[in-house]
Structure 1
C-alpha cells in the first residue's frame, strides 16, 4: 500500500495559483485584468462556484429520459 502525502496550502497560496490559472484562461465574461483585480476571497468564491457541481457530473440525476420512482 502506498502512503499518500497531503501538502498543506494556505488560502493565499491557493488564490495565487488560481489567479495565475484564470489570468491565462479567464472564465467566460471576464478579462485577465478583472481577474488580476479580484480579492483573494472573491477569487476563491469564483473558483468554488465555477466548480460547485463538478462531482455531480457522473450522477445520472437530471439527465433526460424516463424515470420510475
Structure 2
C-alpha cells in the first residue's frame, strides 16, 4: 500500500466514521478508502451550484 493510504487507514481505524467499525476499515480497498475520505471531507456534497451562473435553458 502507498504511505498516504496507510495513514488514512490508520486514521479511520483509530476513529471510524459513524456506522462503521475499525474492522470495516481494515477490509476496505484502497479505492473505497479514498472515496470515503473524499466524501467525508467534501465541503458540501449537495451543493452542485446548479443555476448559480452560466448557461440557462428556458
* TM-score in terms of structure 1 length: 0.59
Q: Which runs of 5+ in 2 are unaligned?
A: 45-58
For the pair shown, which has the larger CA radius of gyration, 1 or 2? 1
**Correspondence for 1:24:** 14
Superposed CA RMSD: 1.6
Question: How high is the TM-score relative to the length of structure 2?
Answer: 0.70
| Separation of aligned partners in 2, 1:53 and 1:12 | 25
- Runs ≥4 residues deviating over 2 A: none
Q: How many residues align?
A: 44
1:15 Cα deviation after fit:
1.0
Q: Which structure 1 segments of 5+ residues have no match? A: 1-10, 55-69
The CA deviation string for residues 19-57 of structure 1, in whole angstroms up to 9 with x for no partner, is 001000000000000000001111011000000117xxx
